[in-house]
Amino acid sequence: QAEQAAKAEAERIAQEQARIQAEQARLRAEEEAERARILAEAEAEEQAVRQRLAEEAAQRAHEEAEKFRQPQPATTEKDERFRQAEAKALAEIAAREPIVRRESFATVPEPWQTIEPSEVVIRVDDK
């Protein structure tokens, strides 16, 4: 009888250990699933934030490009008059005959006699 009781006790202990191990395995699996879910949520949230930031940057770039594309209105009548006068003066300058400077040098010109390509030579005769 003692042997049977010991066998029953050993079987009960083995069942208890198996139940405890199964419970621990279930808890580990739940914990792992929870960790994976939290990680997936964090990655999804991070991706959403990156997407939102990229959209905001694209929107800002589009708005900046739109600002430069639109002609800037004259802020005052004085600015408008200045722009018109400037356009008229530029049109008059463009309509003029080109100014040609011809000089003949018998020898190699001195440095002060050379004309730089960026120079504009204008002769004004006061009468």
DSSP assignment of 101-116, as one string? Answer: -----SSSPPGGG---
Query: Is residue 125 predicted with pLDDT exceeding 90?
Result: no
Residue 60 predicted with pLDDT over 80:
yes
The confidence score (pLDDT) of residue 73 equals: 63
Q: What would the mean pLDDT of 12-33 be, rounded to a whole number?
A: 96
Could you tell me what percentage of the chain is helix, strand and coil, using 3-state DSSP and rounding each to the nearest 5? 70, 0, 30
Q: 10 Å Cβ neighbour count for 82? A: 12
User: With 80 as the cut, is the pLDDT of residue 124 above it?
Assistant: no
- Confidence (pTM): 0.40
Tokens of 56: 């905001």
More confident residue, 117 or 11: 11
Mean pLDDT value across the chain: 82
**Which DSSP letter does residue 123 get?**
-
CB 88 within 8 A of CB 94: no
